[in-house]
Structure 1
């Protein structure tokens, strides 16, 4: 067994990234601002991991701490079992892809991809071979001689990915790399990005504020709020079983029942939530076998292509959104002002954990 193989096996036994008590404070006029607040996290080798949250939630700061662009106020950062907390960015086996791509306009696509190998002293023949292979990996082998200005936004994004991965980092950090693309191209790149990650087998850590993007791409997601991880889990876990009001409201669309409405409508104590697609409409109440109904009035109907979104004011004093599939299974047409009954199954109602518990 070679030394390289032995090191690979040792690395694979440890998390790709381990954060322990990670804290980052920035100085301000009226005292320190805590951007990251005692974050503990482990990310597995080969995982596509997303950090999701609104602006100012701490997700980008955590990414910059992992990259080495910021130094933590306290806590540790480990990369495959090695403490890299005090190491400079160039001494960490990670690479970063930013939103603006930062390609050299005067260089060909091939030379852009090979640049990192050139800086590392790799010979011309080897670096061109490796750059060509990296371009083939992102399906741009026929664009090698072009300049970045001759490429589309999605193609430039793939060149940036090839340049970041050609040096074979153990971890690839992606800071909202699809944010500058239009919606259709962004959706195409989401599919391609996931395929590239699977082909390379590299750990991807992806930062985004777009919850649909995170749900589409990720093996696991950490939802950040006020410098802390509010919930950690698979996309299905976060969507189907949000742990808090913040996660329920931020990840997708939710109908939130406060303690009073939960008691009168659901028959349970505490706060609860239910997704719009779990609700149904009918002209008569539907009860029994775990099924509940509440009367209300349609206040808005919104056509969204694949579905019909209806906003209902319940007589109990709560406004809810119902999402019906745009197919033959949906209820008859309803207009604003129509009286309806909103129904749901008890098993689709999720209890929310109060903050700080």
Structure 2
């Protein structure tokens, strides 16, 4: 008598539900389309940035996630639950704005604990939790002060503490560093990234500052005209921009149109090459281009000293404008002056072929 057994059933891996899932999101204001068919999945614990110029649709998407704007079309899910038509207070998210909107008549501790007070928590518990939140942003010793007695960076941290004390699943940040000066903003970028890692919650960050997005993000969505032009890691977006728009908006780049690409590369497509990939040598450098390299003669039109190096503007004989970035390596480095004839070299491997931007 034989015993037959059924084949083992293959175990299926559990698919993690995204913290935020957006499908077909659209928003119009009269005849103006602010957001046009946006699809995004944002993972739990991810630092996700929406980057773009003013009017690109990024803040409108953030406001729809928060519930401050109703979509014209599409769906928004938080942890798998459809919240498209839910009120803001029905969503487990909190928003930090550029204007921190702290209550001037309250102490810092009471400002942080205000949301807990609205939720009906007792005084002892809300003060304990507010103190813990202040400790997380390293302001535990300033709880008795008024907002007017704090610096801009400290007020920004109070606004963050007021948000995280509510323990949201998602924290939305609408250009929260925009009002700070450059040095303080750079310091706060480091602190904000560290805070997000310590808390382990999902951050959705809106900014028009490319360096800020590159510094902070796990992934970036580059917006233009209400649509996502490219979605990827900071490295992917910087090293392999999908279009001329992305290449020009995220950092500085040399855009080579089809005609210029044909002359330099032998391929009639649009390409881009970053300034730091260009090498400048003396015009007497007559050696032919090595295999895999491109060589072109040019004239220096301007040299700008940056401290860490020089940004050198160049023009080739056919009128093509190029920019090279030279790192400072010593007193003799980067001495090109306006009018100097030079040779520019770069590797073909550093040239990125561009596709047309989405219409």
TM range (shorter): over 0.9
SS for the counterpart of 2:110 is helix
Partner of 1:50: 49
Matches within 5 A, 1:31-70: 32-70=31-69
Matches within 5 A, 1:1-357: 13-27=16-30, 32-283=31-282, 284-286=285-287, 287-328=289-330, 331=333, 333-356=335-358
SS for the counterpart of 1:116 is helix
1:328 deviates by 3.5
Verify the 8 A CA contact 2:275 2:325 in the aligned structure 1. Answer: yes
Partner of 2:5: none
1:307 deviates by 1.2
SS for the counterpart of 1:22 is strand
Of the structure 1 ranges 280-289 and 270-279, higher mean CA displacement relative to structure 2 is found in: 280-289
1:316 deviates by 2.7
For 1:269 and 1:81, the matched residues in 2 are separated by: 46
1:13 deviates by 2.5
1:297 deviates by 0.4
1:252 deviates by 0.2
Q: Which stretches of structure 1, 4 residues or longer, exceed 3 Å deviation after superposition? A: 328-332
For 1:48 and 1:192, the matched residues in 2 are separated by: 13
Verify the 8 A CA contact 2:309 2:334 in the aligned structure 1. Answer: no
Verify the 8 A CA contact 1:285 1:294 in the aligned structure 2. Answer: no
Q: Against the structure 1 CA distance between its residues 210 and 332, is the aligned structure 2 distance closer, same or farther, given a 3 Å change threshold? A: closer
Deviations 1:120-178 (A, max 9, x none): 01111111111100000000000011110111000000000000010000000000000
TM-score in terms of structure 2 length: 0.93
SS for the counterpart of 1:72 is coil
Partner of 1:4: none
Deviations 1:196-244 (A, max 9, x none): 1111111000000000100010000000010000000011111110000
1:79 deviates by 0.3
Partner of 1:5: none
SS for the counterpart of 2:148 is helix
1:334 deviates by 1.5
Q: Against the structure 1 CA distance between its residues 343 and 82, is the aligned structure 2 distance closer, same or farther, given a 3 Å change threshold? A: same
For 2:123 and 2:332, the matched residues in 1 are separated by: 63
Equivalent pairs counted in the alignment come to 343
Verify the 8 A CA contact 2:310 2:334 in the aligned structure 1. Answer: no
Verify the 8 A CA contact 1:285 1:343 in the aligned structure 2. Answer: no
For 2:15 and 2:152, the matched residues in 1 are separated by: 35
For 1:329 and 1:273, the matched residues in 2 are separated by: 31
1:25 deviates by 0.5
Q: Against the structure 1 CA distance between its residues 71 and 338, is the aligned structure 2 distance closer, same or farther, given a 3 Å change threshold? A: same
For 1:330 and 1:57, the matched residues in 2 are separated by: 44
Verify the 8 A CA contact 1:12 1:80 in the aligned structure 2. Answer: no
SS for the counterpart of 1:192 is helix
RMSD: 1.5
Q: Against the structure 1 CA distance between its residues 89 and 322, is the aligned structure 2 distance closer, same or farther, given a 3 Å change threshold? A: same
For 1:12 and 1:155, the matched residues in 2 are separated by: 40
Of the structure 1 ranges 347-356 and 109-118, higher mean CA displacement relative to structure 2 is found in: 347-356
